[in-house]
Amino acid sequence: MSDLHDVPFLVAFGEELDRIATATPPPVAPGRRRWRLPMLVLPVAMLAVGGTSAAGTLLVLDGSPIPGFARSDDAAQIRPTLGTARIAALRAPDPDRTAAPWTLRLSTSGDLSCVAVGQVEGDRFGLVGLDGRFRGLPVRGGDSCATAPRPGAPIAGARTLAGSDRDEVRTVLYADGGADLTAARVRLPGGEKRDVPVSDGATVAVLRGYPEDARPTLELEWRDGKRFRQTYGASDLVIPDPYGGPAWKTEAGVFDRGVGRTMPFCFRVLPAREPVPYWGGPAICAGGKRRVLFDVLTLRPGQGGPARGFATRWRWRGPARTFIAGANLPVRSLTLTLPDGTRRPLGTNRVGRILEVLPATPTGDVSRVRIDAVLKDGTTTTYRPGQGVTRRSGGLR
């Protein structure tokens, strides 16, 4: 293994981390939004359209600017050619209109095109850090490079930047579509559509929150009629909150009680992006790992309870919601009856679970909730709340 000092960038990076750890942060400027290293990079479109991303993303932390890669630390094909970098003319507003607008830095590296997402303050390109200070992004190490864009095959993706709290998190959708890109829009669940400006063949849209909260779809059009469409943050394991809260998921597991003993199967509801400090719903348990579980839970802020056997201690710090949840549903089809009597088809995710999100006090009678199932052998059955449940965490009302 080579010595650390053989990698100049890592030496500079380590020195900067030491400085940050011992520094006293300055006060945050009033009204300035603060971001830090992206928590999630989704260059899905690059892969989907045949472009190959040749670099990751290096953005600023809380201290002074992080040095760009030394020439000996990066591959030639992801090293933007000096003198080719330019800032796109477009300026995408932040959801907080007092924050610096967003844009792209475009450059080339041989036959590749490179893109960096950032903010603009005056004539500077960078990011506002968590300490409220604007810092420039280095050209080396701050860009993602891929095959040059062409109609129908852009360089596109979504960058997520953490904030001081969930309200300050940003998801930035971006695309470099080349000179013939003529139109861009973002679609959100529920039918909302936003037209997005295009300039220099590039487009940027900024959303509040994480991509799984909004599941945005980026749509692009070119002069020759070609189109591109990509949805970000979508997964059948994650359910967006229809009332503006965080996206949700279920987690499940089997507790090993020793050889020859029954192994209870438990599942719970929690935010899709695991919170710190951790919180989530109560454990709902069955006596065996293959037993169908189906229940309706109404959870409110501050609610919680102690462990009961294998049903662990829990605390709910999320918004008030009613969840219709189930697990171990190996069925051919499901029909859900909601509290107001509405019936509609229901699908399970790839691991045989369901999750529906309702207001804490839904319209109708929760006791009317049921699932009519057609099993794989063609027989039918009905599941009602409490199906298969042998134990719950304490504290439920």
- pLDDT > 90 fraction of the chain, expressed in percent and rounded: 45
Based on C-alpha coordinates, what's the Rg of the chain? Answer: 25
The 10 Å Cβ neighbour count of residue 351 is 12
Does residue 345 have a cis peptide bond before it, meaning omega lies within 30 degrees of 0?
no
What are the backbone angles phi and psi of residue 223, rounded to the nearest 5°?
-60, -30
Using pLDDT thresholds of 50, 70 and 90, give the confidence band for residue 77.
low
The one-letter amino acid at 149: P
Query: Which tops the pLDDT comparison, 253 or 178?
Result: 178
pLDDT tens, position by position, 17-66: 555 545 554 455 544 555 544 443 333 333 333 333 333 333 333 335 54
Query: Which tops the pLDDT comparison, 55 or 356?
Result: 356
For residue 144, give the nearest of 96, 102, 176 by alpha carbon.
176
Of the given ranges (54-68, 165-179, 210-224, 382-396), which has the lowest mean pLDDT? 54-68
Most confident of 80-84, 196-200, 216-220, 270-274: 216-220
Contact 68, 80 (CB under 8 A): no
Model pTM? 0.74
The one-letter amino acid at 339: P
Q: What per-residue confidence (pLDDT) applies to 339?
A: 94
Query: Which tops the pLDDT comparison, 15 or 340?
Result: 340
Query: Which tops the pLDDT comparison, 356 or 1?
Result: 356
Cα(first)–Cα(last) distance of the chain, in Å? 59
Contact 180, 201 (CB under 8 A): yes
Of the given ranges (56-70, 97-111, 224-238, 309-323), which has the lowest mean pLDDT? 56-70
Contact 157, 46 (CB under 8 A): yes
Q: What per-residue confidence (pLDDT) applies to 76?
A: 58
* Rounded CA separation 163/130 (Å): 7
DSSP 8-state code for residue 137:
P
What six digits make up the tokens of 164? 């001081």
User: Quick one: average pLDDT of 353-382?
Assistant: 92
Q: Is the pLDDT of residue 222 over 70?
A: yes
User: Quick one: average pLDDT of 119-130?
Assistant: 88
- pLDDT > 70 fraction of the chain, expressed in percent and rounded: 74
Q: Is the pLDDT of residue 229 over 90?
A: yes
For residue 104, give the nearest of 34, 178, 183 by alpha carbon.
178
Mean of all residue pLDDT scores within the chain? 80
Using pLDDT thresholds of 50, 70 and 90, give the confidence band for residue 4.
very low
Helix (H, G, I), strand (E, B) or coil at 211: helix
Question: β-pairing, 170-176 with 293-299?
Answer: unpaired
Q: What per-residue confidence (pLDDT) applies to 309?
A: 59
For residue 13, give the nearest of 79, 73, 101 by alpha carbon.
73
Q: What per-residue confidence (pLDDT) applies to 3?
A: 44
Q: What per-residue confidence (pLDDT) applies to 39?
A: 42
Q: Where does 18-166 show beta strands of DSSP type E?
A: 38-42, 86-87, 102-109, 112-121, 124-128, 134-136, 144-147, 155-161
DSSP string, 367-391: GG-EEEEEETTS-EEEE-TTBT--E
* Rounded CA separation 43/174 (Å): 10
Q: Is the pLDDT of residue 7 over 50?
A: no
Q: What per-residue confidence (pLDDT) applies to 38?
A: 47
